[in-house]
Amino acid sequence: MTQAMERALPHGTDRPAVTTQESLPDSTPSCSTQVSIKGGNVSLSDGHRQGSILTYSCPDGSYPHPVRTRICQSDGNWAPMYSSGRRVTQASCRGMRCPPQRAFENGFFSPRLSAYPVRGVLNFECFDGYQLHGSAQRHCQSNGRWNGTSPVCNDGAGHCPSLPIPPGAISSGGRNRLGDRVSFQCQTGLDLVGSSEHVCTPEGEWSGAETSCRAPYSYDRAEDVAAEFGASLTNVLSVVSSGSDHSDLPQDPSLGRKLILSTDSFLHIYLLADASHSVTSKHFEMFKKSLEIIIDRIASFEMPIRFALLSYASQPLTIVDTFDDIAEDPDLVIEKMRDEMKYEDHGNATGTNIQEALMAVYSMMINHRAANSRNWDQIRHAIILLTDGKSNMGGSPKVAVRRIEDFLNVKENRKDYLDIYVFGIGRLDVDQAAMNEVASNKAGERHVFILTDPKELKKAFEDVLADKTQLHIKRRIDHELYNVRAKAAQGIQEFYDYDISLLELDGPGKLGPICLPCTTGANRALKKPETATCKDHELDLLSFEKVPAQFVSLNNERLNVLIKTKKSRPKCISAALQHALYSKVANVSEVVTDRFLCSGEDGNGAVEDASCKGESGGSLFVERRARYFQVGVLSWGTFDACKNKATESNHRVRKTPKRGQKPRDFYLSLFRVQDWLRHHLAGSLRFIPQQ
């Protein structure tokens, strides 16, 4: 292939990618060289030969119309283009549009348009007696998606909160009483993603995944995919435990699902990569790099995992079976993928058969259970499917999904034993409705994602579960009431009340997903009604006498503590006076105000970790409903667990306290600095009422 064939058109020209017949090889091309798109570029997978795929691309904020790709047919013509039933001879770049708001109950919105251009704005207000939840103002983004969350006006009178009506949709059915069903339907030309029907459950929650209506040309940004896929995947990974003994910790039914696996039970991850002709060899290699990244990310969690690896076109090829010896070793799985997972191994069988690929997973499950059935019902399964977005042979993939669900006995109380994620790569060619039928629909999570190309997929996977410690600090905001010398005149040389700061970053930084209590996001994660208050969050998260919590050490390890509350708190904070700085203080409340949380061993047998010098500022967090909630910030302690124990590699080794020592750590409670947090974060987060 000549360099001229591979070169795309300069932006904004109408010239063909190859301008003269003489610039081609000696053989006569199958299809015309006179191909272009107004306002965009053209690229070819194999010149103008039969089977070559022509791809149109447009600048950000626009999309190719009426198609994104065309194939060079055997008759020497590019596949024809149609729009509204009429043949189109010239492709063009059209401006993105966001779907209109069709209805908004118990309130009003403006402006009312049939479609909204990029940077268009929607404003929402509620009638008297109703409270607005969600985004009061939304902006149309360059990917054809509205920012923020769909708003709703709620009066708190129903068993379930009112359901927001997403842009482009109309609703029908009941309201928000127990057992009511609400259905959504998207306007013509838009695909429904998520659940089309929601049921008001006895728990006061709506079943199913959030509904959205999407234009075929809209897509997800890599950063949004990383955040939402990462949050859901963390849910899968965090609820699976390797069987650690937690018998000494209080048990709380509100902790939600938590599967405790024995040493011979596993989480099974099935990775499926599309190798059909429309994907191309180059993009398939990018799929492999993306899978390598996600295997590495998942393997970083300390739990028993088995990986399966398949490529598929007209038929699937199994590279690694969950029953293989190497399935437990992520490094060997990656090595085998690099060596044996090849695009060309599918030969001329170049169709896209997602049904058969999922049936291969189904067969793998059957064989694995037959060989090792003892703990099969405890195994959790997650399928990650990469596709070009269309299944053009083999029948509907949902048939295989139903078989897998039946085989795993995925009923109401076992829905968390199966997660299916579908990634469609490409804009106009992705069949969003078909993908939605395959993916899991779970409340509060997304399992369908659409990206423009494999590079965006790789970028998204690079940010999933990533531990980015190189953060760029743009601004630091200290609490204005913090003054370490505030009580020096009283003989208290160091006083740490209000010891809290906010850091604003000048670039993306991600230390792992965590929820901030008293926000709408945390409220959804806790599955609280929309009428819940900050006090409700505190009662939920700090409800035990001794609350199991964790903080992260300088060695990046999670350490376990028990937050002492209620009757246990006075004894915990009293040990603060054993520190030399406070040995002459008569009343411990002069040092430990009611803004502090306290942890430390109390001699009753529960082993707790103590902090080291340098770990101040770290997050104190608890787990509820398979999510992590930050409840405090580590401020100070009475015992340096790492003193004189740093090794040559600077790896801190923790020591046990001497006989009679009572290590205590104190944390600024986020519930006690709510006014300050709301003042500085109101523009970034949406808070719920305090009382």
Higher pLDDT, 60 or 649: 60
Q: Which amino acid is at 595?
A: R
Segment 17-45 shows an average pLDDT of: 69
Q: Give the pLDDT confidence score for residue 388 in this predicted structure.
A: 84
Higher pLDDT, 621 or 28: 621
Could you give the residue range(s) of every CATH 2.40.10.10 domain in the chain? 473-681
Provide the mean pLDDT of the chain.
Answer: 84
Q: Give the pLDDT confidence score for residue 458 in this predicted structure.
A: 92
Pick the CATH number of 473-681 from 3.30.413.10, 3.30.300.210, 2.70.98.60, 2.40.10.10: 2.40.10.10
Residue by residue, DSSP assigns 383-430 as EEEEE-S---SSS-THHHHHHHHHHTT--GGGGGGEEEEEEEESSTT-
Say if strands 418-425 and 380-387 run parallel, antiparallel, or are unpaired. Answer: parallel
Lowest-confidence segment of 206-210, 245-249, 277-281, 560-564 by average pLDDT: 245-249
Residue 208 pLDDT > 50: yes
Per cent of the chain over pLDDT 70 is 86
Q: Give the pLDDT confidence score for residue 4 in this predicted structure.
A: 29
Contacts with 160 (C-beta within 8 Å, 6 or more apart), sequence order: 176, 177, 178, 180, 200, 201, 204, 205, 206, 529
Segment 639-656 shows an average pLDDT of: 61
Residue 236 pLDDT > 50: yes
97-214 maps to CATH 2.10.70.10: yes
Q: Which amino acid is at 527?
A: K
Could you give the residue range(s) of every CATH 2.10.70.10 domain in the chain? 3-94, 97-214
Query: What DSSP character marks residue 74?
Result: T
Alpha-carbon gap, residue 591 to 582, rounded angstroms: 8
* Topology classification of domain 3-94: Complement Module; domain 1 (2.10.70)
User: How confident is the model over 104-144, as pLDDT tens digits?
Assistant: 999 999 999 999 999 999 999 999 989 888 888 999 999 99
pTM of the model: 0.65
CA 559 to chain centre: 25
What pLDDT band is residue 558 in, cutting at 50, 70 and 90? Answer: confident
Task: Please give the order of strands across the beta sheet that includes 62-65.
Answer: 37-38, 91-95, 62-65
Residue 17 pLDDT > 60: no
Cβ atoms of residues 445 and 209 within 8 Å: yes
Q: Give the pLDDT confidence score for residue 512 in this predicted structure.
A: 55
User: How confident is the model over 478-503, as pLDDT tens digits?
Assistant: 899 998 888 988 888 899 999 999 98
Residue by residue, DSSP assigns 228-290 as HHHHHHHHHHHTEE-----TTS---GGG---EE--TT--EEEEEEEE-STTT-HHHHHHHHHH
Q: Give the pLDDT confidence score for residue 9 in this predicted structure.
A: 28
348: tokens are 């001329």
Lowest-confidence segment of 178-182, 297-301, 642-646, 657-661 by average pLDDT: 642-646
User: How confident is the model over 243-292, as pLDDT tens digits?
Assistant: 333 333 333 333 333 334 444 457 999 999 999 988 888 899 999 999 99
Q: Give the pLDDT confidence score for residue 371 in this predicted structure.
A: 85
User: How confident is the model over 71-82, as pLDDT tens digits?
Assistant: 899 999 999 999
240-463 maps to CATH 3.40.50.410: yes
